[in-house]
């Protein structure tokens, strides 16, 4: 079976060509949903996807006519994507996502079946300011979460931490359903501070080159006592007043910001909510810093697992294919 998975984010898109569970090729484009918002046209996204799909097939030495289906997740199902699909309301199982799939065909991709997987929204009865901390959404991370569960044979309850431009805290319940999620803008904060503030002279553009645990912990302690914005300026003071390296300052800042990310509510969920398994995805060194911060926050009887790069790379595709599998079986029965 030859399939192509499509993941569209805010700033970029990527496809993977997969045959019988093996990833043959992966191609990335720097076109994402933001480009649709800027231009007001979805043609730019269609064009970018068409280009990387054909490039991926070329790299895999496969032809478009060999593809059985496409499966898409992420921001491609938002109002700016190719097909808008309402979020499924948590708690959400893999079967719930299967039931929410929308099937389309497009001439620009030879009318091959194209399956779109919906995102997930927290089940909040009446959204209001008093419940603002309970409101959250995701598009894309839900398939990644189920892919991780499939690859690692994880049984809930568990908390998945998926760092990126936005960090997602995904809560998995006893029934292996997504109970809720929580989002922060950690990645964008780090990027903005290092590129667009006075810290651009004190923090390297590539941020942390290697983990320096001493300075991560110093950042954690400083943020705990003084707050996150004071910690940010302290990174500059470390530059102009002390003999510190750019990497030490980057570790200090990352420790402070990640410490702020894992706030009192997250810690309460972990220690008193029964989420005794913590699985951290993303890439190094950020996932390593998350582990250091968690270990310094007084966890009780909790195991922390860092996902390998291989698991992280495969999770979204594995989750997407597993979710769409149920629908394709149902289609075969109907035929």
Instruction: Please identify, among 260, 280, 303, the residue that sits at the C-terminal boundary of a domain.
Output: 260
In this prediction, residue 330 carries a pLDDT of 67
Q: Residue 134 above 90 pLDDT? A: yes
In this prediction, residue 174 carries a pLDDT of 94
Asked whether residue 93 is domain-assigned, the answer is yes
Instruction: Please identify, among 260, 293, 316, the residue that sits at the C-terminal boundary of a domain.
Output: 260
When pLDDT is cut at 50, 70 and 90, the band that residue 334 belongs to is very low
Residue-number span of the structural domain to which 9 is assigned = 2-147
User: What value does the mean pLDDT of the chain take?
Assistant: 94
Q: Residue 172 above 80 pLDDT? A: yes
CATH for 107: 3.30.420.40
Least confident of 73-87, 216-230, 302-316, 321-335: 321-335
Task: Please tell me whether residues 7 and 140 are part of one structural domain.
Answer: yes
Count up the domains in the chain and report the number.
2
Task: Please tell me whether residues 26 and 109 are part of one structural domain.
Answer: yes
This prediction has a pTM of: 0.93
Look at 87 and 331; give whichever has higher pLDDT: 87
Task: Please tell me whether residues 85 and 134 are part of one structural domain.
Answer: yes
Asked whether residue 302 is domain-assigned, the answer is no
When pLDDT is cut at 50, 70 and 90, the band that residue 331 belongs to is low
**How many other β-carbons are positioned within 10 Å of the β-carbon of residue 213?**
14
Instruction: Please identify, among 208, 243, 260, the residue that sits at the C-terminal boundary of a domain.
Output: 260
| Percent share of the chain, pLDDT over 70 | 98
């Amino acid at each position: 079976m030859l399939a192509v998975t499509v993941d569209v984010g805010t700033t970029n898109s990527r496809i993977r060509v997969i045959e019988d569970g093996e990833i043959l090729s992966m191609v990335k484009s720097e076109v994402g949903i933001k480009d649709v918002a800027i231009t007001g046209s979805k043609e730019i996204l269609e064009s970018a996807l068409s280009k990387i799909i054909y490039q991926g097939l070329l790299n895999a030495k496969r032809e478009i006519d060999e593809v059985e289906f496409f499966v898409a997740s992420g921001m491609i199902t938002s109002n700016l994507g190719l097909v808008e699909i309402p979020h499924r309301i948590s708690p959400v199982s893999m079967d719930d996502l299967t039931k929410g799939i929308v099937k389309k065909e497009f001439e620009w991709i030879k009318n091959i079946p194209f399956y779109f997987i919906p995102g997930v929204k927290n089940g909040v009865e009446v959204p209001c300011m008093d419940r603002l901390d309970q409101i959250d959404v995701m598009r894309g991370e839900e398939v990644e979460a189920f892919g991780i569960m499939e690859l690692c044979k994880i049984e809930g309850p568990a908390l998945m931490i998926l760092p990126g431009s936005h960090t997602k805290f995904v809560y998995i319940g006893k029934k292996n359903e997504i109970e809720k999620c929580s989002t922060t803008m950690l990645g964008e904060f780090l990027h903005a501070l290092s590129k667009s503030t006075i810290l651009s002279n004190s923090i390297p553009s590539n941020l942390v080159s290697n983990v320096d645990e001493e300075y991560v912990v110093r950042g954690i302690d400083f943020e705990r006592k003084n707050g996150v914005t004071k910690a940010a300026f302290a990174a500059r003071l470390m530059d102009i007043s002390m003999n510190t390296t750019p990497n030490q300052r980057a570790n200090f800042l990352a420790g402070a910001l990640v410490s702020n990310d894992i706030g009192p509510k997250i810690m309460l969920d972990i220690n008193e909510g029964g989420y005794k398994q913590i699985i951290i995805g993303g890439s190094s060194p950020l996932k390593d810093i998350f582990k250091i911060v968690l270990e310094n926050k007084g966890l009780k009887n909790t195991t922390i697992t860092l996902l390998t790069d291989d698991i992280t790379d495969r999770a979204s595709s594995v989750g997407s294919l597993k979710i769409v599998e149920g629908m394709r079986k149902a289609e075969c029965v109907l035929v």
